[in-house]
């Protein structure tokens, strides 16, 4: 188990509150024939989530062209928040999740863009802040020529149930 933070937050829900991260009341609705979370054994597979704001607006654009890497990193943080919302919706509480196993991050990137890892660090860092030591995970990140609805980033995740 992760060691407590200086403010005493030692569970995912407590860390979320301490970090003043507000999750949407409901996760974004899938845009296709799939579910947000599929549980198999002790693993929780979270389908690819995008940078969808609570009002339903999407963060769109081509990273390295119409969107800079710093803005896209912020979009990846929004994606992590949506992933957490999907997990909470499935499990009832993030405290029912032991930690993060792996992320796969996709960046809608210009052909010469090379900072994919930097962008997806936005999601990785937020998840590590919420799950502590058990939030450090394996990961792949790469650029793609397009993503659904022209979104800037998409991240799928695997978590372990507590």
Q: Which residues pair with 138 in a beta bridge?
A: 102
How many helices and strands (H and E) does the chain possess? Answer: 3, 5
Domain-located, residue 137: yes
Domain-located, residue 80: yes
Could you give the number of structural domains in the chain? 1
Q: Is 3 exposed, middle or buried (0-12, 13-18, 19+ CB in 10 A)?
A: exposed
Domain-located, residue 83: yes
Domain-located, residue 7: no
| pLDDT tens per residue across all 162 residues of the chain | 344 444 557 999 999 999 999 999 888 889 899 999 999 999 999 999 999 999 999 999 999 999 999 999 999 999 999 999 999 999 999 999 999 999 999 999 999 999 999 999 999 999 999 999 999 999 999 999 999 999 999 999 999 999
Domain-located, residue 8: no
Domain-located, residue 3: no
Q: What is the CATH number of the domain that holds 81?
A: 3.30.1330.40
- DSSP 8-state symbol, 127: H
156: its two tokens: 């799928």
Query: Which domain covers residue 152, as residue numbers?
Result: 14-25+34-161
Domain-located, residue 144: yes
């Amino acid at each position: 188990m992760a060691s407590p933070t200086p403010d005493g937050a030692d569970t995912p829900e407590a860390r979320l509150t301490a970090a003043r991260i507000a999750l949407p009341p409901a996760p974004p609705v899938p845009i296709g024939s799939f579910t947000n979370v599929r549980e198999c054994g002790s693993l929780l597979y979270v389908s690819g989530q995008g940078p969808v704001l609570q009002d339903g607006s999407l963060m769109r654009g081509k990273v390295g062209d119409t969107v800079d890497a710093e803005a896209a990193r912020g979009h990846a943080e929004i994606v992590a928040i949506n992933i957490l919302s999907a997990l909470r919706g499935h499990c009832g509480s993030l405290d029912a999740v032991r930690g993060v196993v792996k992320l796969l991050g996709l960046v809608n990137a210009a052909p010469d863009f090379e900072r994919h890892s930097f962008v997806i660090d936005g999601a990785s860092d937020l998840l590590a802040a919420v799950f502590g030591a058990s939030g450090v995970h394996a990961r792949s990140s790469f650029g793609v020529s397009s993503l659904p609805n022209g979104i800037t980033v998409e991240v799928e995740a695997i978590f372990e149930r507590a």
